[in-house]
Amino acid sequence: MAKQEAEDVEQTLEDLMSNAGDLPTLPTVIIKINKMTASPQTNAADVGRLISNDPSLSAKILKLVNSAYYGFPRKVTSVTKAIVLLGFNKVKNMALSASVVDAFKHTGKVSSFDFAKFWEHSVAAGIASEAVAKSLAPQCVDDAFVGGLLHDIGKAVVAGCMEKSQLAFDLAEKKKCTFEVAAVETIGFDHAKVGALLAEHWNFPETLVRTIRYAPYPDRTRQHRDVIGCVHLANVIVSALGFRGAGDFAMPVVSNSIWEELKVTPESIAALCEETLKGYANAAAFIELAKD
């Protein structure tokens, strides 16, 4: 890329991220939750009280916790109890995910961007990422689900804030390629970079920022490769299962290095596909977040 072209791309990104009128905003409770859960002095009751002060958010979290996906034998009636059962990170990630969906589901400057389909892919990717982590990288289970769920969030930003992004969607369909390939060719950057910038803007944890940035290109980083690898592989799995990403007209390809690092086998892929489909069948509450 020529120097002037690169500078133009960076200016476009800077303009996009600084245009607060177009960018979705997250409720302040999410910022407070992130800060609170980062402190070792925080307990379940503290976080439970904070979330419970937002009736809409707490209702959504309890709906997810009581869904078939988690399968608790008795109904969970408080956010504090949910935290005790699932842990800070999972409940925090539920709150974050529910808020991100609310922020994006009514936006869109691109007519061909189907948010419902986008969210179906995202939920499937979250489920697959968690399945991959449980099986092949258990140390990153808590981060895998939300990483998969939000790995494509840059597409929603681009579709919601940039009319020019329609060119990328059109080119992807014409060339039968992935959206990131078409986006680089038409607007000069891919959705992963935009998503990571937004994640930074929202003060998301570094692990999540880097997962969003490098999930399509895991070989470009040496940090957080366990969770990035899980999300990268999960995206390929769900695409193969029919949950193709928004704007993608070609199958993504698994990185050889990730295949080797996670010690993937044909047998493990078959088991992961089965686990993903089973999880998705019980994930109606997650899908409905985009419709509420």
Residue 89: per-residue pLDDT: 85
Q: What pLDDT band is residue 14 in, cutting at 50, 70 and 90?
A: low
Could you tell me the CA-to-CA distances from 246 to 179, 264, 270 in Å, in that order? Answer: 8, 26, 24
Residue 19: per-residue pLDDT: 55
Residue 246: per-residue pLDDT: 87
Closest C-alpha among 233, 239, 240, 234 to residue 261: 233
Query: Does the global pTM surpass 0.75?
Result: yes
Q: Please state the separation of Cα 50 from the chain's center in Å.
A: 24
- What does the mean pLDDT of the chain come to? 88
Amino acid at the residue 138: P
pLDDT tens digits, one per residue of 16-67? 666 545 677 788 888 888 888 778 888 888 888 999 999 999 999 999 999 9
Closest C-alpha among 155, 254, 261, 148 to residue 207: 148
Q: How far apart are CA 73 and CA 51, in angstroms?
A: 23
pLDDT tens digits, one per residue of 209-225? 999 999 999 999 999 99
Residue 279: per-residue pLDDT: 96
107-290: CATH topology is: Hypothetical protein af1432 (1.10.3210)
Residues of the chain with CATH 1.10.3210.10: 107-290
Residue position matching structure tokens 């992963």: 192
Residue 20: per-residue pLDDT: 46
